[in-house]
Structure 1
């Protein structure tokens, strides 16, 4: 279904000032053909901010906007197009009549990152294609090879393998233990936009579950695609809005992902015990085999987006 945009907005939100002193000055060349000049790294810096891009429709068919929150070591580009060039979930939700906000979370992409150990305590983490092949459940741990022709995938795997190296171009540095800073920026976004539907993937799915508890007045529905974590139990309190969890294939045979899912299932049980509606879509249990961790990039991504859209239409928001 088509849509007409009224505006595309972009802004940074959250963050604060920090002042540094006592750092050594450097002589560095910064311009083509230029000579080195003195760089003084002492002074004020902004950190903890998040980049947001909003797609606002001329005539939205829904009052509530959709937030799309990405996973660890990723940016909002995950939602824009698939690595093989198909429309991403951004387009599907716009086509369904929603205004949509996409974020580059704190320290990722256009949010920028900062000096370490002066501002960030540790150096960034970088993901290898070897690790991703296993963690994203594209194939067995020893199935990755530098030569694409020699890579081994899981049977019935639905990710566009010919575009895996193109997908790897999206990955960005990440830091561990920045949850509080990131959640603060997501909260500031919700305060700015007002009530919204939050859809998160992987680490972003964990943040979506957490936002449901920290900002119950600002989250009208939560969708978590393969969340890699869940909030602490002591945050649970009373009946909340509807939740939807979606899982792909090859989870129980992967020790790390089996552990992640166990944590999330415990959280789901706690929510249900408090009379919160939590629906779970277990794709392989339905006979849909081959979905990877990146559900919104697999070959059936549009069909999965439509299932979420249909669920939102049936939920009492």
Structure 2
């Protein structure tokens, strides 16, 4: 019975991932797990009387006791005959979750689908405090309250429109000329926004490190805030991280104290969209990342750059994996990975 259930599940996954191309994917396995985290015991908190579901009698709830916190959630799809030599791990950015890589806000297949069809085993994760990794109490465990991204910030910070171009009325929003982001689906994208904490970096890094030890050797494709975690994991486990694709990464370790010699065997590709010069924040970010990249090259490592406007591709936002031309970008990434000898 269990074997039949698993075969049915795999069949459903293969059919669902058939997407926009002909022929079903040959899927060997699908599954998920939590990794990392720690055990915590709380005491001294007051009991409460709660009604857990409408119509049920009230029940005294004791919030004290033992908990598992600060873990990471990962979901994987493994192919029967992968072309990638290692699994490809997709890491999301700040205030987001693994949904970044799944179906795009306009309903088109996301990069998870694209890389599966390109022959990679693909893992999608939710970091500490995000999605199915779940929250923990604060300030007892998480040391600060969460903050929430308004739609205005996402519209402007992600380079969909300039500062002051957002309006509550979708008809009055002013997108950048020629933007590749599917503007009509922006409110759908905003539903993906997840509360985040500014005090959980150490716990998040520990969970990602545990993830790398469990899932790798691997290739990491990482977006925005996640870049710093990927670089640090590579520094700790250069034998396990076979390459990093840093998609508009917003952070990295201090180049003054980084041992770049440890990264010589980890080829890296930075991918950047358009209109970076319009935003002082992104001008600072790209300068910092270019410093990091050049130091990697000087140490004998591979630090390549894919600046989309240099290809004549204009209008890409910070969420370039959701843009209308995102499949073409993913194809360039796949070609680069093949060039590094990471595909059979």
The separation in 1 between residues aligned to 2:136 and 2:100, in whole angstroms, is 23
Partner of 2:296: 271
- The alpha carbon displacement at 1:230 in A equals 0.8
Q: SS at 1:166's partner residue?
A: helix
Please name the residue that 1:119 is paired with: 141
Q: Secondary structure at the match of 2:175?
A: coil
Instruction: Say what the alpha-carbon RMSD is for the aligned residues.
Output: 1.2
Match of 1:235 among 231, 250, 258: 258
Secondary structure of residue in 1 paired with 2:277: coil
Question: Could you tell me which of 337, 340, 343 is aligned with 1:312?
Answer: 337
What residue is the counterpart of 2:114 in the other structure?
A: 92
- After superposition, where does 1:53-202 map in structure 2 within 5 Å? 53-202=75-224
CA-to-partner distance for each residue in 1:51-76, whole Å, 9 max, x for gaps?
A: 10010111112221100000001111
Of the three residues 35, 51, 64, the one matched with 1:13 is 35
The counterpart of 1:44, out of the listed 47, 62, 66, is: 66
Partner of 1:219: 241
Counterpart in 1 of 2:283? Answer: 258
- For 1:165 and 1:223, how far apart are their aligned partners in 2? 28
CA contact (8 A) 1:4 1:59 kept: yes
Aligned to 2:274: 249
Distance 1:309 1:213 in 2: 23
Q: 1:25 and 1:99 mapped to 2: Cα distance?
A: 46
Q: Which runs of 5+ in 2 are unaligned?
A: 1-20
Match of 2:321 in 1: 296
Question: What TM-score comes out, normalization by structure 1 length?
Answer: 0.97
Q: 1 CA distance for matches of 2:44 and 2:153?
A: 38
Gaps of 5+ in 1: none
| Distance in 2 between residues matched to 1:9 and 1:63, nearest whole Å | 20
* Separation (CA, whole Å) in 2 of partners of 1:121 and 1:193: 29
- The question of 1:284 aligning with 2:306 is answered no
Shift of 1:207: 2.1
* Cα distance per residue 1:1-47 (max 9 Å; x no partner): 65211111100000011111111111111111123221111111111
Query: Which consecutive segments of 4 or more residues in structure 1 shift more than 4 A?
Result: none
- Residue equivalent to 2:53: 31
Aligned to 1:208: 230
Q: CA deviation at 1:107?
A: 0.7
How far is 1:184 from its partner?
1.3
Q: Secondary structure at the match of 2:260?
A: coil
Count of paired positions: 317
TM-score using structure 2 length = 0.90
Per-residue Cα deviation, 1:258-294 (whole angstroms, up to 9, x for no partner): 1111221111111111011111011123321100000
Are the aligned partners of 1:206 and 1:224 in contact in 2 as well (CA < 8 Å)?
no
